[in-house]
Amino acid sequence: MSYTFYLLTDPHYLAHESWVEGDPVNGRERGDQIALKATPEIFDSFTEKFLADGDADTLLITGDLVNAGSVIDHKSFQQRLDAIKAQGRRVWVTTATHDYSSQGGRDENIFNAVRYTATGTEDVESVYKTDLLPLYYDYGPADADSVHEASGSYSAKLCEGLRLIMINDNGNGRSHCGLFEDGMQWLSDEIDKANAAGETVLTAVHHPVISPWPIYSHLVEFEMYGGYKELSRLLCEKGVRVIFTGHTHVQNIQKYTDGQGRFFYDVSTTAMSTPEGKMRKIVFDPETKTLHVTSIGIETIKGLDTHGKSAKDYIYSLNFIGLLENALPDLKTDWNKFVDGVRGLLPTDKLQAHPKLWKTGLSAVNNLKMSLPAKFGKRYNGLSRAEIRDLRQMPLLPEVIAVVRRVFAGNGPFPPETVQYKVFTGVTQRVDHIQERLHVKKLAALLPEGQTLTDVLLPFLYNNRTGDDDEITIDL
């Protein structure tokens, strides 16, 4: 008999009690690039779908449960978790850096638990890191066979023959996230125990273990699971095939294979409150020893007035790229409306101070056509003169926006057969060629070792990894 569970991540839950309408909460929402104010309703919309699946037994949530470690948010969030448990389902969580605060400078964590008032913020009671294990004991650790007290990690049985190890970070996510030495030893021992008992082991942790794209770990390695190389080695060595992660807010599935052909997958799930927010439905088949992962989004936000917008369009309208796309039509017709629309994305004070200059510049960018980059890279893109001429009809900006829109959603829009692929890779190949000849140090420093600009661009254009970030069947 197969076994079904779900996973969602990074709810960044903000209780209704934690804000009143005004610039402070709206500024935070824009800065965070998630639909912060709607997180309770979005969470309900997802969990309603989980509860509607009669086969689904357990809901996993891999950290960044609340916005910034406020007791009010945790309590309100737990009421929602309790409502799920009251329906006979299990909820297992890990916590992460957004779940506690550094109120009073108690550590390096940058978050402060606040309530958003009409004019600013006020400090509210916060949770410290060591409070998290007792606070969430009934959401995972209580069902576990083994708990690593220092980190709050735990090992529990999902069903007969299937074990899940939920790894909680020891560190504070600034100078270190991930397990310390004793935590790694505990993890290694737990995997050994499970293997000896003939169980299949799955793992989950908040921070990424395989970089979603090569450029990510190159530029922001501190955002990776601390000791990700060591953990990768351990998973390969002990035959663990899957780790579920969050944090990057990116829908992404990556396979890592070591020198001896041993492998595992990092299944990273996008944050719940992003425009293409998804949760994973995971089905374990003990007969074939496979794990089938699919993805489920929401169409509407239950209990929220979105002015008739779908969940995707509503959340997208709060997103920087959505703000820009929605404001662009006003660029020609209504400057003030345009400036208002891009608040938080562009420096509105500068836009207002020099309207002519900005309007001319932005209009010029808006009027660019795909023929321009096509001509720049024509030695490399294989496009004929006639094809390049046709591209004079295709505005450039919407094609760039299409790529950026899918950065968090996974499965980039332009596979190799598309004209956009040819145009964009033509440009990067020409830059790579120039780089090869001139060795521009600044550009070289931006690129991961041994990679070209084209290599860096490809994963954003299309899924050049497993082929699909939303679905996979993994041989355990």
Residues at the site binding Fe ion, with contacts judged by CB under 5 A = 10, 64, 96, 247
Side by side, the strands of the sheet bearing 90-94 are 90-94, 56-62, 3-8, 279-285, 290-296, 472-475
Q: How far is the CB of 15 from Fe ion (least distance, A)?
A: 17
- 460 close to 213: Cβ distance less than 8 angstroms: yes
Site of tokens 């949530």: 61
CA Rg value for the chain: 24
> Chain-centre distance of CA 74, in angstroms?
21
Cβ neighbours of residue 79 closer than 8 Å, sequence gap 6 or more: none
**Which residue's CB is nearer to Fe ion, number 241 or number 247?**
247
**Which residue's CB is nearer to Fe ion, number 4 or number 126?**
126
**Which residue's CB is nearer to Fe ion, number 96 or number 187?**
96
CB atoms within 10 A of CB 329: 13
Nearest to 70 by CA among 30, 14, 19: 14
Q: How far is the CB of 353 from Fe ion (least distance, A)?
A: 35
**Which residue's CB is nearer to Fe ion, number 277 or number 412?**
277
Would you call 65 helix, strand, or coil by DSSP?
coil
Task: Report d(CA 441, CA 210) in Å as an integer.
Answer: 27
**Which residue's CB is nearer to Fe ion, number 394 or number 407?**
407
Q: List, in sequence order, every residue forming a beta bridge with 92; answer none if it has no partner.
A: 60
Task: Report d(CA 366, CA 358) in Å as an integer.
Answer: 12
**Which residue's CB is nearer to Fe ion, number 10 or number 266?**
10
Cβ neighbours of residue 312 closer than 8 Å, sequence gap 6 or more: 275, 276, 297
**Which residue's CB is nearer to Fe ion, number 64 or number 325?**
64
- Both structure tokens of 107: 């550590």
Q: How far is the CB of 9 from Fe ion (least distance, A)?
A: 8
